[in-house]
Chains A and B, each alone.
Chain A
């Protein structure tokens, strides 16, 4: 089925460990996004990529890096995980027209101990 695929679905890290969250979409969308979801705070934008080859910071970029590997893939890296990064992470994509909504992946639940 067409959509946004995220891996892994669950992950537990120790403080200071690093990891990369993977995201791929097969809808030929130009824009891709990484959000984190925390209780009572809705979704907050971490980084986004308006098109292949470009990335920009969102509302909460500290502690994260991203790579837009090609049009399909947009990865999120935690270089040195902290307990404050315990969250559910969602990747999303959108076609070029801002009138259309996003398509979201099913999320990665990350716990940092």
Chain B
């Protein structure tokens, strides 16, 4: 069945450091891929998405490229800020449009 695997956290970085959060998936067909962000005490917000191979999603300085050959959708940001501290979820849209989530990666950015 469809599944999503994320790198384990927590990830702790200094401000202005480069961020990579790895995400790989297993799916039949051609799923859409998403990154969601959850700030403390809040619900999930869509951060970015990609709907087909080689698409690059981007938002707020974050980027992720849909790599079909490696079944990956890694999240990157060139220079993180304290305000980026949150939990990040990778997800795919599978059969019937249901979202399947990875386990989440907690990011903590120190000043």
Contacts and interface: CB of A to CB of B under 8 A. Distances in A.
B98 A101 contact: no
A61 interface: no
B46 A102 contact: yes
Given A98-B32, A101-B46, A105-B43, A33 B98 contact: yes
A103 B43 CA distance: 9
Contacts of B43: 4, 90, 104-107
A99 interface: yes
A31 B44 contact: no
A101 B100 CA distance: 11
Contacts of B51: 99
B98 A41 contact: no
Contacts, number: 60
B36 interface: yes
Interface residues of A, number: 26
Contacts of B34: 101
Contacts of A92: 44, 99
Interface in B62-95: 89, 93
Contacts of B102: 42
Interface on chain B toward A: helix, strand, loop, or mixed SS? strand
A50 interface: yes
B67 to A, nearest CB: 18
A99 B98 contact: no
A50 B97 CA distance: 9
Nearest to A31: B97
27 contacts: A31-B97, A33-B99, A40-B103, A41-B103, A42-B4, A42-B104, A43-B44, A43-B99, A44-B101, A45-B99, A48-B96, A48-B98, A90-B44, A92-B99, A98-B32, A98-B97, A99-B32, A101-B36, A101-B93, A101-B99, A102-B44, A102-B46, A104-B43, A104-B45, A106-B42, A106-B43, A107-B43
Interface of A: 4, 31, 33, 35, 40-45, 48, 50, 58, 90, 92, 94, 98-107
